[in-house]
Amino acid sequence: MSKPVKRHGLITRLWHWVNVITLTVLFMSGLNISNAHRYLYWGNYGFDPADAWTSVIRFPGWATIPGYYSLAEARDWHILMAWPFAIGLLVMWIAMLVSGHFWRDIRTHISEWKPAAIKRDIIEHLKLNFDHGDAKYNFLQKITYGIVLGVLLPGMIFTGLAISPGFEPAAPWLVDILGGRQSARSIHFIFSWALFAFFVVHVVLVLLAGPIGQIRDMITGGKQ
């Protein structure tokens, strides 16, 4: 008799809950850092608000870590959580590739890119029908997870390195690829809010799909 297959592997579950902590602290400490200069620029330099492409609000204390303005403490929290975040993402990618999880469950196929298939998937989502047959994820989920895992999360690491004061001399090519230190800062800000939007949608879909079962499976692994 074969052993039941877990819906979520141990590494996936550990990474998921570690990410809940690290991304929460990174986001909230990042808001505190944003309060130091609320203007965003493109290129290598940016000091004058008149040259900014946009400005952001000053975030209240209840949304930041620490709960009062302190650039030094916010940076300490940010760096502290950046390490487990980056290492965890690396471990997750290695695990996904070695186990075949990425190729089997997240990689899309040509047939899924047909307009009719995409339209059908969107309609089913609007109907709150999350059944995707024998596959672990449907097309929209694959695309979303692919963007989050392959673009947004790694992008946060690379842009974060590019805007670190002491990193540019060590790898100026990374700053150049991103279009300059201020461009990296703008992309970092955009990606962070894109991840926040993903988090909100993710939580809403979990609530609609049955939160007790979803959370239980992410703790115990569940069964296929």
Per-residue pLDDT tens for 116-128? 888 888 888 777 7
**How far is 52 from 35, CA to CA, in rounded Å?**
15
CB atoms within 10 A of CB 212: 8
Provide the pLDDT for residue 212. 86
Reported as a single tens digit per residue, the pLDDT across 44-93 is 999 899 999 999 999 999 999 999 999 999 999 999 999 999 999 999 99
Q: Where are the domains of the chain?
A: 10-220
Number of Cβ within 10 Å of residue 115's Cβ equals 7
Which regions in the chain score pLDDT beneath 50?
1-2
CATH of region 10-220? 1.20.950.20
- The pLDDT value recorded for residue 1 is 44
The one-letter amino acid code at 42 reads W
Contact partners, residue 27, CB within 8 Å, separation at least 6: 192, 195, 196
Q: What is the pTM of this model?
A: 0.89
Predicted local distance difference test score (pLDDT) of residue 130: 67
